[in-house]
Structure 1
Amino acid sequence: MTTATVSASHSEARESWVPMIAIALGQMIMSFNVASLPVALSGMVKSFNVPPTTVATGIVAYSMLVAGFVMLGAKLVQRFGAARVFRLAVVVFCAGQVLMTFSPTATLMIMAQAVIGAAASVIVPALVALIAENYSGRQQATAVGALGSARALAGVLAFVVGGILGTFIGWRPAFGILIAVSAIVFLLSFRLKSTEGRPEVNIDMVGVLLAAAAIVLISFGFNNLNRWGLGVATGNAPFNLLGLSPAPIFIVVGIVLGQAFLMWTRRRQEAGKTPLLALDVIDSSKERAAVYALFVVVALEAALNFTVPLYIQIVQGQSPIATAVAMMPFNLTVFFTAMLVVRVYSTLTPQRIGIFGFILCTLGLLWLAFVVRNDWSAVPVLFGLVTFGIGQGALVTLLFNVLVTASPKELAGDVGSLRGTTQNLAAAVGTAVAGALAVGLLTTIMLGNIAAAPKLTPELQAQVDLDSINFISNDRLQTVLAGTTASPAQVTEAVRVNTESRLFALKIALLILAGLSMLAIIPASRLPNYLPGEIPDPSDGSGRKT
């Protein structure tokens, strides 16, 4: 398949932008929902009396359901029509938000996010298909860019609105707003062009089961690495295999099932049957490179979006609005970069933008690792967040555009499902890894610091549960120690160890994320290295004018 951007003739009729409002709002309600979860972290921890990693499970549940069933959603869109399926999915999304807003327990909160994720698995491919049906040429390219900007804008609004409401009222109203916005999207959806669908499209249920099982196992495995054990099974593991933790086993089996899905899909496609995912959308090394790069950058964003609120709200004990203020430069940078990066497409190749984007992400994370202190509002920290935001905003929009423009209109749904699978699996893995990495590092560092602190005697250690170390504020630690025989000097020493261990764990986690970002330069170097209006030269990979 040739990678080329969609161009329009001067005589092309311009369509109304009203349908795009419905499409953009459809993207925003999904992005607002998942971005609001980290902002509501401390409120949910307090309401449900659970550790922060349990709230992270809600994020993983949402992303896991989207990633697992978005390819099925794409086929439903093709078979029954994008507008009709989109409308129904918005109703289910709204019902999930009702459950989310009024959930009395963490279990129901996670179930609500699963319902919302199921609805989003249909909305994601429907959005791409709706853009293809309602716009063409330059308007289509603009609409694709607007979709990326809508995602970034929703992230900004989630931190602002969620921060203000979470501080002065509570975390629930932020999700209650989505009930009303979902109703608006439903009404606006009647302005979308409605196609009858293609009844001849068959749904590959074997492919659905293989893909869903692979993604669920991978997500579940990463999400429980810390609780079940990285290698040897802990006491929290539901079972063990010759003493081994089921978490890495789940990940390995999930990867094997993913390969089995690709093999099955290829055989089905060669037999002339309708595949769950048209492999034409990833039939070139450049398109596969775009998928790999998209996975990494979204995983890094998810990790940062979980780590920062965790530190501000749980470690520092500050309010949700403090999270909004600290993350505002990052979210605004992502928003404006996602809108403005399309202006350089005519002068910089995707390869150059991709490499430069990951260099910025790496530099931003490295800078954060070296300058972060116990105050996220410090100017040097904000500089690091802005640097990462420029790279992240440019990459997400660029990589989506590479995939969309590389495929014909009839494969728009498949591109949408591929994008949804990649982004949401990356978000689930990124969030899960961030939680497991931060807690795992904290446990190792804190146990070492406790052993090196003579004042924290074995007698005192025996009165505290050191088998389930997690991120807690110093106030919470002092409350726990008040129920022990700890002297004032021992309490002071314990607070010092807690403070230093948390900060060191965060720094090491940021350095590891920077290393992953640096490795992503490899797939970025395989992105298309030619401008719009050029085609690749098979002899040296450069572009030549058409």
Structure 2
Amino acid sequence: MSSTTSSTEAELKRSWAPMVGLFLAQVLMSFNVAALPISLGGMVEDFGVPPTTVSSTIVVYGLAVAALVMTGAKLGARIGWVLIFRVVVALFAISSLMMIFSRTVGWAIGGQVVAGACAAIIVPALVALIAENYRGEQQATAVGSLGSARAFSGVSAFLIGGTLGTLVGWRPVFLVTLVLAILVFVLSFRLRSDKGNPGIKIDLVASALIGASIVLLTLGFNNLNAWGILSATDNAPFSLGALSPAPVFVVLGVVFGQLFFMRTRARMRAGREPLVDLSVLSNPTERSAVYAMFIIVAMEAAVNFTVPTYIQVVQGRTPFDTSLAMMPFNLTVFITATLIVRFYNRFSPRAIALFSFALTTAALIWLSFVVTNNWETFPTIIGLIVFGIGQGALVTLVFNVLVTAVPKKLAGDVGSLRGTTQNLASAVGTAVMGAVLVTVLSTGVTTAVNEHPELPEELVAQVSLDNINFISNDELGKVLAETTATDEQISAAVELNEEQRLRTLRLGFLILAGLSAVAALPASRLPRYRPEEIPDPSK
């Protein structure tokens, strides 16, 4: 019996050449995302517009992916995954050309809208094409490579993009995405062909509902800081009385999301084609995997926001310095995401998930105690490495659970669910962490200012010290130098701000540790099957 199984597995094994193209497609998307923040300074200088305008390139890309990914999955199933994959990769190359030759910020924003729309189809296509081309252990390895590709892209984008941006300019950075798109297009001809199903109908109403939901949720969470968590700030585009539009957008996003689920369930009961087959969430195992994925990506986004903010804004260092500081984490995620599949035949998904969440929780608690104003300390690096091990294992694991838990025909739905969950979790993780840190910092500074004997009320009134955000000591010193503050008062204020920033950073890591510990609940509901009971994904 075992010899028959072995021979069957040998027959099913395929060349890894097609997977190289899929791996590079994930690298293409992730590199593009990572390259945008690196290019902001150069675009501001070239186009002569404010940074907030240029940052729209990042926003529109994420919105396009999140809003269109479910519709993209249905288009792929209707037209055929290989054909539509080639088309959107070619369009991605065009978006790179738009970035390289753009003469106004409008062209750059348009280029990222095109790139985001293409990524909305590439994301589910990767899952569907892996399910079409690989089986069993090869499929698990292929799924794991997508997680490692994201980490690899983050490292390479900072190193390559930072070097090119410093020595040549921001435009050559997108020559990298252009070359990647061409390589992926050429390698796509090694993929197993499928014809698609022209009979598949796309529910445009559901598409509009989920698109509106994702856009509103993303805008709401992303602007909690800028527009106000409750009361509208001066930066808010409008206000509802004194209420900030950010929480209103979040509530409306939830409402549209519920309407989407109601319509989808109604269509499934009527036997009509839904935009996404909710049977991929039909049992607690799959729902738990989605919940766990949301928490994992949100934690990663929060760390990726916190660390660069501290290094670049507080310490006043360059993006290249940030990439070096984050390299232990990114490299560890990359290596772990690639190697974790070797443990699938020894331990159940539940055991791996619980152990990994224990690692991330312990690492975040450790960081909350050891992090100092000098980021490159050995204890801090150890904490990032341990966190990266748990993070890399989890990203690959929960995705693999979803892929193997459903029939191959639903692989596109799993891909769209992955894309929606990751983009929404990334926005929520970044925005909520930013809001929490700024709120904690403001509260801490206010209390400390009121209790500090060397900072009189008239000085606080001159600089609004109790409302200050994350800024470097040099910037704070310049602000205070324009007031009536004495040298002793400036030193006291700088020392107070430094203490409160560090306190806020440590508390932020503790909050993330609590979130990681809570994640043990969905992780405990992941499959407990033994190695020989792993489901056959080909069914």
The normalised TM-score by structure 2 is 0.90
Cα 1:313–1:42 change in 2 (3 A) is farther
Alignment correspondent of 2:413: 414
2:233 partner letter:
T
Q: What SS class does the counterpart of residue 8 from structure 2 fall into?
A: coil
1:214 partner letter:
S
Where do residues 154-165 of structure 1 align in structure 2 (5 Å cutoff)? Answer: 154-165=153-164
Deviates more, 1:62-71 or 1:356-365: 62-71
Displacement of 1:220 after TM fit? 1.1
Alignment correspondent of 1:246: 245
Structure 2: how far apart are the matches of 1:481 and 1:101? 42
1:341-394 CA-to-partner distances (Å, cap 9, x unmatched) read: 111111211111111111111111111111111122100001110111111100
Alignment correspondent of 1:428: 427
Cα 1:511–1:55 change in 2 (3 A) is farther
Displacement of 1:475 after TM fit? 2.3
Displacement of 1:129 after TM fit? 1.5
Q: Do 1:92 and 1:119's aligned partners in 2 also have CA atoms closer than 8 Å?
A: yes
Q: Do 1:7 and 1:138's aligned partners in 2 also have CA atoms closer than 8 Å?
A: no
Structure 2: how far apart are the matches of 1:46 and 1:370? 40
1:154-193 CA-to-partner distances (Å, cap 9, x unmatched) read: 2232233234445555555434421222222223223333
Structure 2: how far apart are the matches of 1:26 and 1:13? 24
Displacement of 1:145 after TM fit? 2.3
Where do residues 264-275 of structure 1 align in structure 2 (5 Å cutoff)? Answer: 264-275=263-274
1:319-341 CA-to-partner distances (Å, cap 9, x unmatched) read: 22221221111111111111111
Where do residues 348-497 of structure 1 align in structure 2 (5 Å cutoff)? Answer: 348-464=347-463, 469-497=468-496
Structure 2: how far apart are the matches of 1:12 and 1:371? 52
Deviates more, 1:230-239 or 1:216-225: 230-239
Displacement of 1:253 after TM fit? 2.1
Where do residues 50-449 of structure 1 align in structure 2 (5 Å cutoff)? Answer: 59-100=58-99, 112-166=111-165, 168-169=167-168, 172-449=171-448
Deviates more, 1:104-113 or 1:150-159: 104-113
1:16 partner letter:
S
Deviates more, 1:294-303 or 1:476-485: 476-485
Deviates more, 1:427-436 or 1:167-176: 167-176
Alignment correspondent of 1:22: 21
Structure 1: how far apart are the matches of 2:341 and 2:464? 53
Displacement of 1:232 after TM fit? 2.6
1:527 partner letter:
L
Deviates more, 1:247-256 or 1:117-126: 247-256
**Count of aligned positions:** 530
Deviates more, 1:322-331 or 1:139-148: 139-148
Alignment correspondent of 1:541: none
Displacement of 1:88 after TM fit? 2.2
Q: What SS class does the counterpart of residue 411 from structure 1 fall into?
A: helix
Q: Do 1:42 and 1:314's aligned partners in 2 also have CA atoms closer than 8 Å?
A: no
Displacement of 1:416 after TM fit? 0.7
2:303 partner letter:
L
Q: Do 1:42 and 1:313's aligned partners in 2 also have CA atoms closer than 8 Å?
A: no
1:381-431 CA-to-partner distances (Å, cap 9, x unmatched) read: 011101111111000100010000011111111111111111111112112
Q: Do 1:8 and 1:137's aligned partners in 2 also have CA atoms closer than 8 Å?
A: no
Q: Do 2:445 and 2:465's aligned partners in 1 also have CA atoms closer than 8 Å?
A: no
Cα 1:173–1:361 change in 2 (3 A) is farther
Displacement of 1:84 after TM fit? 1.9
Q: Do 2:141 and 2:338's aligned partners in 1 also have CA atoms closer than 8 Å?
A: no
Cα 1:497–1:97 change in 2 (3 A) is farther
Cα 1:45–1:436 change in 2 (3 A) is farther
Q: What SS class does the counterpart of residue 86 from structure 1 fall into?
A: helix
Q: Do 2:446 and 2:466's aligned partners in 1 also have CA atoms closer than 8 Å?
A: no
Structure 1: how far apart are the matches of 2:429 and 2:103? 27
Cα 1:369–1:234 change in 2 (3 A) is same
Tell me the C-alpha RMSD between the 2 structures.
2.9
Alignment correspondent of 2:526: 527
Structure 1: how far apart are the matches of 2:364 and 2:310? 15
Structure 1: how far apart are the matches of 2:451 and 2:114? 47
Structure 1: how far apart are the matches of 2:42 and 2:507? 27
The normalised TM-score by structure 1 is 0.89
Structure 2: how far apart are the matches of 1:510 and 1:138? 36
Q: Do 1:7 and 1:137's aligned partners in 2 also have CA atoms closer than 8 Å?
A: no
Displacement of 1:54 after TM fit? 8.1
Cα 1:36–1:192 change in 2 (3 A) is same
Structure 2: how far apart are the matches of 1:526 and 1:14? 31
Q: What SS class does the counterpart of residue 394 from structure 1 fall into?
A: helix
1:417-461 CA-to-partner distances (Å, cap 9, x unmatched) read: 111111111112112222222223222223333333444444444
Displacement of 1:42 after TM fit? 7.4
Q: What SS class does the counterpart of residue 463 from structure 2 fall into?
A: coil
Structure 2: how far apart are the matches of 1:45 and 1:466? 29
Alignment correspondent of 1:543: none
Displacement of 1:55 after TM fit? 7.9
Cα 1:436–1:20 change in 2 (3 A) is same
1:459-518 CA-to-partner distances (Å, cap 9, x unmatched) read: 444443669633222223333334444433333233223322222221121111111111
Cα 1:408–1:429 change in 2 (3 A) is same
1:253 partner letter:
L
Q: Which runs of 5+ in 2 are unaligned?
A: none
Structure 1: how far apart are the matches of 2:356 and 2:320? 29
2:120 partner letter:
S
Structure 2: how far apart are the matches of 1:162 and 1:33? 10
Q: Do 1:41 and 1:309's aligned partners in 2 also have CA atoms closer than 8 Å?
A: no
Q: Do 2:66 and 2:420's aligned partners in 1 also have CA atoms closer than 8 Å?
A: yes
Structure 1: how far apart are the matches of 2:445 and 2:102? 35
Structure 2: how far apart are the matches of 1:46 and 1:238? 25
Cα 1:45–1:490 change in 2 (3 A) is farther
Displacement of 1:40 after TM fit? 6.0
Deviates more, 1:102-111 or 1:282-291: 102-111
Q: Which runs of 5+ in 1 are unaligned?
A: 1-5, 537-546
Cα 1:64–1:358 change in 2 (3 A) is farther
Instruction: Percent identity, please.
Output: 57
Structure 1: how far apart are the matches of 2:217 and 2:440? 22
Cα 1:50–1:357 change in 2 (3 A) is farther
Structure 2: how far apart are the matches of 1:195 and 1:45? 44
